């Protein structure tokens, strides 16, 4: 073989290797998938749940697919199903974590992508596979109840909506799920564990993150999601209970300037919300607290993830829950407005509902999800 041909072959092999390592592949069997349907993969930054890219595939053969997705680093995203004919189902996506070069095989049903089975990449790790297996039954119930909630909200059937909201709240993960989750999230030394910790970061403090980072090896800390964890330390330091978040400036829905320092001297509740079952449950309690304590020195600043809900969800305007959101008696900020987007990262607004209770001196007293009782206790004692 001449040097010229040898060099050509090496260049071709090198090129193929580069192509493999800047993408990953999803393939498999999904019952109910039809030629002409579309699969959509939307990638997200896991710590903030912000979209980073989107790729689509038009299906050529019934029940099978192969989807190559560009990726420069380990990627988290959702595989979604869009039928050529008929209505797209709500709450129907497969959660994927893949590295460049991974080949992930997916088996399941297009109407219940959440409960699919995976092989390849991270999913060949026995601990990760066991963890995912423990969630399938509860995932199926979450899909069913969420679809019921949306259906009855759209039709204005408030009693049925409330019925399924209550059933949704009663869903419980098995004990084995919590055991496997804790083992992976808090003790495993791999990039998938770093990803899991990122997804659960909204429950963590800066001290807890610092301790978790110490349990990762230098190799894991250098991975994409390991570095993402490192970047979260200053953010958590700003919002931890007992800390004073730095001042910020936002523009409310009426075009008025609002700053955190405007509320100095009063108790302030920052309420991050959107259209979801958890918010529907929390919202009326917070409004009751506002009406009870507002004249005594209590304010709420509403940060709406969805922007103008009436424009985004016109089909839900008959819903009592949505009408409550639209009738808030306090200042509302649309986080869909470009000038307000930064606050999602600065205050780490990951999941709805999230609340932060800040005292008159500017110190965060409470941060979390459903904290109505704790908020009422603080206000009852001090106002």
Gap between the Cα atoms of 357 and 293, Å rounded: 13
Q: CA dihedral in degrees (286, 290, 296, 298; nearest 10)?
A: 70
What local confidence, expressed as pLDDT, does residue 216 receive? Answer: 98
Gap between the Cα atoms of 362 and 241, Å rounded: 11
What local confidence, expressed as pLDDT, does residue 145 receive? Answer: 84
Helices (H), 200-308: 206-214, 218-221, 224-231, 233-239, 277-293
What's this model's pTM, rounded to 2 decimal places?
Answer: 0.79
Helix axes 136-154, 158-169, angle to 10 degrees: 160
What local confidence, expressed as pLDDT, does residue 203 receive? Answer: 84
Gap between the Cα atoms of 366 and 369, Å rounded: 10
Helix (H, G, I), strand (E, B) or coil at 83: coil
**Taking the mean position of all CA atoms in its chain, how far away is CA 74?**
17
Do residues 185 and 258 both lie within one domain? no
Our count of domains for the chain comes to 3
Contact assessment for residue 222 and residue 214, using Cβ atoms and an 8 Å cutoff: no
Do residues 272 and 301 both lie within one domain? yes
Do residues 100 and 214 both lie within one domain? no
Asked whether the CA dihedral 165, 148, 137, 274 is positive or negative, the reply is: negative
Gap between the Cα atoms of 202 and 315, Å rounded: 31
Do residues 253 and 376 both lie within one domain? yes
Structural domain includes residue 127: no
DSSP state of 72: S
Asked whether the CA dihedral 290, 292, 294, 297 is positive or negative, the reply is: negative
Do residues 17 and 88 both lie within one domain? yes
Do residues 234 and 257 both lie within one domain? no
Q: CA dihedral in degrees (331, 310, 276, 208; nearest 10)?
A: -40
What local confidence, expressed as pLDDT, does residue 13 receive? Answer: 44
Structural domain includes residue 126: no
Among 217, 239, 261, the domain boundary falls at 239
Helix axes 191-199, 175-187, angle to 10 degrees: 110
Residue by residue, DSSP assigns 111-138 as: GGGGG-EEESGGGGSHHHHHHHHTTHHH
What local confidence, expressed as pLDDT, does residue 253 receive? Answer: 97
Do residues 302 and 229 both lie within one domain? no
Q: Tens of pLDDT along 242-287?
A: 999 999 999 999 999 999 999 999 999 999 999 998 999 999 999 9
What local confidence, expressed as pLDDT, does residue 243 receive? Answer: 96
Reading the block at residue 169, the tokens are 């709240």
What local confidence, expressed as pLDDT, does residue 155 receive? Answer: 85
Do residues 256 and 219 both lie within one domain? no
Range of the domain at 22: 12-120
Gap between the Cα atoms of 191 and 100, Å rounded: 13
Ranges of the chain whose pLDDT falls below 50: 1-2, 6-19
Q: Tens of pLDDT along 281-309?
A: 999 999 999 999 999 999 999 999 999 99
What local confidence, expressed as pLDDT, does residue 14 receive? Answer: 44
Do residues 94 and 207 both lie within one domain? no
CA angle 239, 244, 248 (to 5 degrees): 80
Contact assessment for residue 303 and residue 272, using Cβ atoms and an 8 Å cutoff: yes
């Amino acid at each position: 073989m001449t040097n010229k041909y040898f060099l050509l072959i090496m260049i071709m092999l090198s090129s193929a290797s580069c192509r493999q390592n800047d993408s990953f592949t999803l393939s498999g069997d999904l019952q109910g998938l039809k030629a002409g349907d579309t699969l959509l993969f939307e990638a997200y930054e896991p710590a903030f749940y912000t979209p980073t890219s989107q790729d689509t595939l038009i299906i050529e053969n019934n029940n099978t697919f192969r989807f190559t997705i560009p990726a420069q680093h380990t990627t988290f995203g959702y595989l979604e199903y869009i039928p050529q004919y008929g209505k797209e189902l709500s709450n129907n996506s497969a959660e994927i974590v893949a590295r460049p070069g991974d080949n992930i095989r997916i088996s399941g049903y297009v109407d219940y992508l959440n409960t699919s089975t995976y092989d390849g990449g991270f999913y060949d790790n026995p601990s990760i596979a066991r963890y995912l297996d423990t969630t399938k039954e509860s995932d199926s119930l979450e899909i069913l109840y969420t679809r019921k909630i949306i259906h009855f909200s759209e039709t204005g059937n408030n009693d049925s909506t409330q019925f399924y909201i209550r059933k949704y709240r009663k869903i419980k993960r098995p004990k084995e799920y919590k055991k496997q989750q804790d083992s992976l999230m808090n003790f495993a030394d791999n990039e998938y564990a770093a990803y899991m910790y990122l997804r659960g970061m909204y429950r963590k403090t800066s001290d807890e993150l610092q301790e978790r980072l110490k349990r990762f090896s230098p190799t894991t800390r250098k991975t994409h999601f390991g570095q993402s964890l490192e970047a979260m330390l200053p953010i958590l330091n700003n919002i931890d209970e007992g800390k004073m978040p730095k001042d910020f400036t936002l523009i409310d829905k009426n075009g008025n300037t609002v700053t955190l320092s405007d509320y100095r001297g009063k108790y302030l509740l920052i309420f991050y919300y959107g259209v979801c079952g958890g918010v529907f449950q929390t919202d009326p309690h917070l409004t009751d607290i506002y009406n009870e304590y507002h004249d005594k020195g209590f304010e709420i600043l509403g940060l709406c993830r969805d922007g103008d809900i009436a424009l985004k969800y016109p089909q839900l305007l008959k819903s009592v829950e949505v009408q409550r959101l639209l009738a808030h008696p306090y200042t509302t900020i649309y986080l869909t407005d470009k000038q307000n987007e930064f606050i999602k990262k600065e205050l780490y607004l990951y999941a709805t509902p999230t609340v932060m209770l800040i005292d008159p001196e500017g110190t965060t007293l409470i941060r979390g999800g459903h904290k109505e009782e704790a908020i009422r206790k603080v206000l009852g004692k001090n106002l």
